[in-house]
Amino acid sequence: MESAQCSSIDGSCLLGLPTEVWTKILGWLRRRDILNMDAACPELVDRAYWSQFKKLDLASFLHFEYGIDRPERFDKAASYVIRRAGSHVRELALRRFLVNEYGMGNSLETALLESSGENLRSLAIECRLLDWIWLVKFINHIGAKLRLLSLSCIFLRYCDSLTSDKMIRLLESCPNLHTFHLCFHPDVNLSEISSALPTSLISLKTNGCPVVCRDLLHVLKRCSNLSTLSFTCTFPMHSRLGSFPNLQTLQIDGAIGANQPIHAEFIGSFPNVRRLEIAAALASRELICSLAAFTQLEKLTLSGAHPYVSDPEHATECVDALSTLPSLASLDVERNDVLAYELVARICDFRALENLNLSFTAVTRDLNALSACGFRSCTLRSLLLRSFSGTHMENKATQTLRHLTAERYL
């Protein structure tokens, strides 16, 4: 009798340990042991393990932590995790589990409706086949508290893809959004949904959706606090929209076949932009040179292939303009030999540049400038050079670069 009482007292003492202690204990156990313990002491495991889940990428978690490698196992395991951790999660990502896994079973749909939403503030759904009726119910359930909603490559069962009228219905349930990402939905038109966008928006990304200048103007006027804007340029952007000083981050990628450059007047609509990323095929000499007026610009990225600036004289003019920027700390230039060579040769002209990322067909003679005194006295802290013409840089060029980076940065 005394032995049983002692065992009971010892068990009570263990269960009475602080949550922080149990969290460390469970951190040393294998995942399977935690699940076994969860079946025996659900309340303990809930406060010491499941309550720690604030961010959850469901597919990645089950694949890497529990080795779930078959779609038929995923739905059951995902339902269990959502029922145990769903009420604690603040950021939830629902991505496709495997290439051959589509849709969600009834058990997972029910678990999401019943066990998530209490603390959920961020929802990202990517590459999933969903039931439209379920999606409406789910967004209605969690939408009022959502601050971030990201929908990328959503497919709807038994009906068409996501359309403007369907998107409006979802947005009406999310009046307090700060961030809205809508990617690769060509049937959703920004002009049709702009009136449904929450005025509280701070960040908007609509890459892969049709956009024209007047659509952006409507959005910028409606969402006056917008500080981040990202879109795909499908039609020419020539005119000035006005002045929107609150916008600090602007990202513009190009649609396939788009070859009309962005006009400098359009970029001039955002005088206080700090981070600018634009497809190299849309960035003309005039646009790049006009950036000299953006004294607050801190990061510039010219991304993608087929750069518009390919003439050496034009590249020189571009570097002349960029080197005058007093706050430019980061510069990325992809797949542009002419501009990259000029930047390497003129690196000492930049007063604040700390990070330089170039991809070009580098050979030894083009790296000689890196050993010059001007390069050694510049402000660079991070340098990344990549070759894209072949599988690797030439061996001699690679050795030269390794020696220079080791001498300067290591």
Task: List, for residues 302-349, the tens digit of each pLDDT value.
Answer: 998 888 898 999 999 999 999 999 999 999 998 888 898 888 888 888
Considering only residues 169 and 376, tell me which one the structure prediction assigns the higher pLDDT: 169
| 391 has a pLDDT exceeding 60 | no
Q: Are 88 and 54 in contact (CB under 8 A)?
A: yes
Tell whether 389 is covered by a domain: yes
Task: List, for residues 181-220, the tens digit of each pLDDT value.
Answer: 999 999 999 999 999 999 999 999 999 888 888 899 999 9
CATH number of the domain residue 321 falls in: 3.80.10.10
Percent of the chain's residues with pLDDT above 90: 49
Count of domains for the chain: 2
Averaged pLDDT of the chain: 84
Q: From the CB of residue 42, how many other CB atoms can be counted at a distance below 10 Å?
A: 12
Place of tokens 């450059």: 261
Tell whether 103 is covered by a domain: no
Tell whether 224 is covered by a domain: no
Q: Band of the pLDDT at 120, cuts 50, 70, 90?
A: very high
The model's pTM is 0.85
**Of 97, 98, 142, 96, the residue nearest 122 (C-alpha):** 142
Most confident of 29-43, 306-320, 343-357, 393-407: 306-320
| Residue 34 domain boundaries | 12-52
Considering only residues 278 and 1, tell me which one the structure prediction assigns the higher pLDDT: 278
Calpha distance 212→243 (Å, rounded) = 17
Q: Band of the pLDDT at 407, cuts 50, 70, 90?
A: very low
Tell whether 80 is covered by a domain: no
Tell whether 237 is covered by a domain: no
- Residue 258: the pLDDT is 63
Q: Which amino acid is at 372?
A: A
Phi, psi at 400, each rounded to 5° = -60, -45
Q: Band of the pLDDT at 397, cuts 50, 70, 90?
A: very low
Which parts of 86-198 fold into alpha helices (H)? 106-115, 132-142, 164-171, 190-193
- Residue 340: the pLDDT is 87
Considering only residues 275 and 384, tell me which one the structure prediction assigns the higher pLDDT: 275
- Residue 7: the pLDDT is 38
Strand bridging mode 129-130 / 91-95: unpaired
Tell whether 156 is covered by a domain: no
Task: Say which residues have a Cβ less than 8 Å from residue 313's Cβ, sequence separation at least 6.
Answer: none
- Residue 405: the pLDDT is 46
Q: Band of the pLDDT at 362, cuts 50, 70, 90?
A: low
Tell whether 145 is covered by a domain: no
- Residue 369: the pLDDT is 57
Task: List, for residues 58-113, the tens digit of each pLDDT value.
Answer: 989 998 888 887 777 888 899 999 999 999 999 999 988 766 566 678 899 999 99
| 284 has a pLDDT exceeding 50 | yes
Q: Are 137 and 168 in contact (CB under 8 A)?
A: no
- Residue 100: the pLDDT is 57
- Residue 375: the pLDDT is 60
| 359 has a pLDDT exceeding 50 | yes
| 399 has a pLDDT exceeding 50 | no
Tell whether 159 is covered by a domain: no
- Residue 39: the pLDDT is 85
Q: Band of the pLDDT at 271, cuts 50, 70, 90?
A: very high
